[in-house]
A and B are shown apart, each in its own frame.
Chain A
Amino acid sequence: MAMRSDKKAFGAVTKSIHWLMAALVITVFSIGWYMDFLPLGMEKLEWMSRHKSLGITVLVLVVLRVVWRISEPSPDALGALKIEKWAAKAGHLGLYLLMFAMPLTGWTMSSAANFPVSVFGLFTLPDLVSPDAELFETLRTVHWGLSWTIGGLVGVHALAAFKHHFRDGDATLRRMLPGKIKEN
């Protein structure tokens, strides 16, 4: 399998980062909802710590991913309908935007709460804004709203992949899996 993608197949780097980020995003999302329900205590803080560290990891990876993506060709979307391809493009763009927006709103809301972000205890990120209770409340609502959005969009993304795989019988899902595929 080639490292780089071409017009026919995804390369190893794109596949790896896709699945790595899928796992990360689902993990950060789950921790986020779990910690929200915990009472204020040591356990909540521990999970918040992990949520923040992994969220920043997502931010770093999405930057690398975008740089990598623009540097290589991507296989064309499969599907009979034009609107399908257009919807796929819009959905992917939305996912990229949300992978930036989630960590950035999270980081900013931590700054607004005067609760700076430490990444795995290794280093502390600079504050993006000064402490501001009102801004914090707004960002919390935005972060919460976006978490529903990304949850929904990931769901649609997966359903679309299954639809291509099971109903259309095309290579959309298979070509993102490890290994080489014969044809699209």
Chain B
Amino acid sequence: MFQISRKSLSSLAVLTTLAGFSGGALAADPWVVDANESEIEFTGTQLGAEFEGEFESFDATIVFSPDDLAGSAVEVVIDIASVNTQNADRDSQIVSADWFDAAQWPTAKFVTKSFREIAPGKYEAVADLTIRDVTREVTMPFDLEITGNEAEAEGKVTIKRTDFGVGQGQWIDTTQVGDAVTIKIEIEATR
């Protein structure tokens, strides 16, 4: 449909484009995310052991209808500084220049490009994930349950931190801080 080069096009522009597409006859429903019940968590490995953390603050703009996947779009903007891994030293590392460099790139973005139904209640989102100045396409499978005007979605995707330049210098080495990071989202929303 459209190609996104790493730097030339901001993710916001993509969303605007998507919104433009969805603005037609098949209007997908806008959803309001319940911030208290929604979470973006991740699991990383350090010294060979897994640890969990979350980004406590994020904004999600969701337009979604199972009957209009082409007109559906999700954009999530994550506030990097809201990271919480229950360890102050590690949290301050994560936002530092070697890792997410939150001073220069305060947010990460997840912008969907397309959706596909793989089974009833099970979908796959193809999205551009932008962390630091790197944008890469990821495919995230998720389960979705819509009851009346309430929806619950849960999805997981595993990325490589080094693909996004998360971990510069000595941290490019993945022996002590593992490359694979699993991102898990749990969203509750109402329309």
Chain A residues proximal to chain B, CB less than 8 Å: 40-42, 45-46, 48-49, 52, 113-118, 120-121, 124-125, 131-133, 136
**Interface hub of B51, B170, B177 (most chain A Cβ within 10 A):** B51
Q: In the complex, are the beta carbons of A116 and B49 less than 8 A apart?
A: yes
A125–B177 CA distance with the chains assembled, in angstroms: 17
A-B contact pairs, 20 of them (CB 8 A): A40-B89, A40-B93, A42-B171, A45-B46, A45-B47, A45-B177, A49-B48, A52-B47, A113-B86, A113-B87, A114-B85, A114-B86, A114-B87, A115-B49, A115-B90, A116-B51, A118-B49, A120-B48, A121-B48, A132-B86
Give the residues in chain B near A46, CB-CB below 8 Å.
Answer: 175-176
Residues 177-188 of chain B, each 1 if its beta carbon lies under 8 Å from chain A, else 0 = 100000000000
Compute how far the CA of A116 lies from the CA of B89 in the bound complex, rounded to whole angstroms: 15
**Residues 27-57 (chain B) with a chain A CB within 8 angstroms:** 46-53
Q: Which residues of the other chain, B, contact A116 by a CB distance below 8 angstroms?
A: 49-51
Contacts A49-B176, A124-B48; A131 near B86 (Cβ below 8 A)? yes
A42 touches B170 (CB 8 A): yes
Shortest beta-carbon distance from A131 to chain B in Å: 3
* Closest Cβ neighbor of A42 among chain B residues: B170
Residues of B within 8 A of A113 (CB): 86-87
Q: Is the CB–CB distance between A41 and B170 below 8 Å?
A: yes
Q: Are A45 and B87 touching (Cβ within 8 A)?
A: no
| CB of B173 closer than 8 Å to a CB of A | yes
* Chain A hits for B88, CB < 8 A: 133
Q: How many B residues touch the partner, as a band?
A: 20 to 34
Given known contacts A121-B48, A124-B48, is B87 in contact with A115 (CB within 8 Å)? Answer: yes
A129 → chain B closest CB, angstroms: 11
Q: What's the dominant secondary structure at chain B's contact region?
A: mixed
Cβ–Cβ < 8 Å partners of A114 in chain B: 51-53, 85-87, 90
Could you tell me the distance between the alpha carbons of A49 and B90 in the complex, rounded to whole angstroms? 16
Residues of A within 8 A of B51 (CB): 114-116
Cross-chain contact A133 with B86 (CB below 8 angstroms): yes
Complex Cα distance, B49 from A115, in Å, reads 8
- Asked, given contacts A42-B171, A42-B173, A42-B176, whether A49 binds B89 with beta carbons under 8 Å apart, the answer is no
Chain B, range 70-97, C-beta contacts under 8 Å to A: 85-90, 93
CA distance A42 to B98 in the complex (A): 12
With a CB–CB cut-off of 8 A, which chain B residues contact A117? 49
- Measured between C-beta atoms, what is the minimum distance from A159 to chain B in Å? 36
Residue of B nearest to A114 (CB): B86
Residue of chain A at shortest CB distance from B51: A114
Alpha-carbon distance between A40 and B175 when the two chains are bound, in angstroms:
15
Q: Which of B53, B85, B87 has the most CB of A within 10 A?
A: B87
Give B178 Cβ to nearest chain A Cβ, in Å: 10
Complex Cα–Cα for A36 and B86 (A) = 20
Min distance, Cβ A14 to any Cβ of chain B, angstroms: 33
Q: Is there an interface contact between B48 and A118, defined as CB atoms closer than 8 Å?
A: yes
Q: How far is the CB of A10 from chain B (nearest CB, A)?
A: 37
Complex: how many Å from CA A114 to CA B87? 6
* A120 and B49 alpha carbons, distance in the complex (Å): 10
- Of all chain A residues, the one with the shortest Cβ separation from B46 is A115
**Residues on the A chain within 8 Å of B89, using CB:** 40
Instruction: Quote the shortest CB–CB distance from B47 to chain A (angstroms).
Output: 4
Question: CB distance A131 to B50 under 8 Å?
Answer: no
- In the bound complex, residues from chain A placing their C-beta under 8 Å from that of B173 are 42
**A124 CA to B89 CA, complexed, in Å:** 21
B16 vs chain A, min Cβ distance (A) = 39
